[in-house]
Every structure is written in C-alpha cells, then in structure tokens.
Amino acid sequence: MIKSIIQSIKLRFLPKREFYGLSFELLGFTPNKIDLYELALVHKSASIPCKDGVPKNNERLEYLGDAILGSITADILYKYFPNKSEGFLTQIRSKIVSRESLNKLALAIGLDKQVMSNVNLNNNKHIYGDAFEALIGAIYLDQGYSVTKTFIEDKIFRNYINIEEVVTVETNFKSKLIEWAQKNKKDVVFDTREDGLDKVMKLPVFISEVEVEKNMMGKGVGASKKEAQQKAAKEALTRLEEPLVATA
C-alpha cells in the first residue's frame, strides 16, 4: 500500500519548486507543509543551495525522525509485551530501528525511487533508511505526534513489521560469533581500523577483519566500526557453517 502511495506521489523538482502528480490521499491525512516532504528526500550530496549560504538537505529531519520513530516504537513494544524486561524491549527496538531494518523498509515502500542523491546508491543504501527517518520527521512537524504515531502503527507496523518474527531473528552477528567461540572454546579477535575517507561523502570508512584461532574468517567494510564488525562476523559465521546463522 505504502509503495503505491510513494509511487503515486512522484515527487520531482521543477524550476519553480512545484510538484505534479501529488497524491497523499492514502497516507491517512492531507499534508499542509509540502516543502517538508520534499526536503525529506534530499540527501546531503544533493543539497539545495540557499540565499543565506546554508544548503538544505534532510539531515535535520533525519535527526528528528530518528528520535520520534524510536519513541513511538518503544511505546508500541511496551504495550505489546506487558511482561517483558527493559533489556528485552531495548533489544527488540534496536532491531526494528536498526540501519539495516530501515533500509529494507524504505525499499519496501518505494523510497529508493524518490531519494535525490549524487552518490552511488548501490554502495550507500543507508541513505534510504535515512530518508525514511526524515519522512517521519516531516510528518511529525506537519501533523504532530498523534498522527505520526497512527501512521507508523497503521501503515508501517501493520503492513511491514512482524514483531514476533523480529524477536526470533538474530541480527547481532558479532555477539553470536563471540557466543559460538565461548561455547567451542575458540579464540576470536577483531581487527578494526579506519581506512581513509569515502571519496564522495568525505566520511570515514572502516574495515574489520575477524580471526578465529588465528585464521582470517571474515572481512567487513562499513561507515562505522560497528557496521564493519557486524559484516565481518556474519561472513565468519557463514564460513563456520554455524547452523543458527540468521539469513537476514
């Protein structure tokens, strides 16, 4: 449903910054501040020049949307699991709002077709998840918390997030590898380092290599140490043919 919404919107920039083919009917509300939704899809690399010299992009909306999404997700999980501990709820929330999860969600609803960017999106898929958070920020500023919560509950969770499935899927590959090593009395060592800057984004790039009993078993590259280590651990687990490796 959401994918058809986004596809019907067909947000495009014209010389006068006008829209055509705009249809938000199925969102469940009528937008008031169209510029917010426009801005939510502008990545930093495609920033819009302004007279005051400060380029506009979706970074601030992303920041806001991240906080709002986390808050609403926490509320949903708190009510869904009335007897679970704080640690359990935190873990499930982290899975739902993780960069990988948001990237997949953004693809599912068609945001990848609308994001404006000047980078290779095949190598920077986190941009899609960022845009999703920015969209949540735009809805919040335009419609308020109540409407944003309804949108996330009715349009996102109900159609795209299976909470029970999230509970059973293991996504913390580093923890899983360490657990496997402890169980099997194996030494595991992560070598993680910064490897220069991304040529376009000018942001740090990290490389992580993981050794099991001094044998290199996995390598990962990411925009953070955590991302690089997770990718390295996932590759190592696959090579070790660990039967509980998640397919996520």
- CB burial of 171-197 (b: ≥16 within 10 Å; e: otherwise) equals bbbbebbeebbeeeeeebebebeeeee
Q: What is the pLDDT of residues 147-197, one digit of tens each?
A: 999 999 998 999 899 998 888 776 678 888 888 888 889 999 999 998 877
Among this protein's residues, is 59 annotated catalytic? no
Helices 126-143, 99-108: axis angle to 10 degrees equals 80
Reported confidence tier of residue 225, pLDDT bands at 50, 70, 90 = confident
Spot the catalytic one: 38, 62, 130, 133: 133
Whole-number Å distance between alpha carbons of 25 and 5: 8
**Tens digit of pLDDT for each residue in 204-221?**
788 999 999 989 999 998
Q: Which of 17-26, 81-90, 101-110, 150-159 has the lowest mean pLDDT?
A: 17-26
Q: For residue 209, what pLDDT is reported?
A: 95
Domains present along the chain, CATH in parentheses: 2-168 (1.10.1520.10), 173-239 (3.30.160.20)
Output the pLDDT for position 120. 67
133 as an active site residue: the answer is: yes
pLDDT at 125: 64
Q: Which candidate in 38, 66, 130, 142 is catalytic?
A: 66
Q: Which residue has the higher pLDDT, 225 or 28?
A: 225
What integer best gives the mean pLDDT of the chain? 81
What's the longest Cα–Cα distance across the chain?
A: 65
| Residue 223: per-residue pLDDT | 77
- Position 8 pLDDT exceeds 70: no
* Comparison of pLDDT for 175 and 70, the residue scoring more: 70
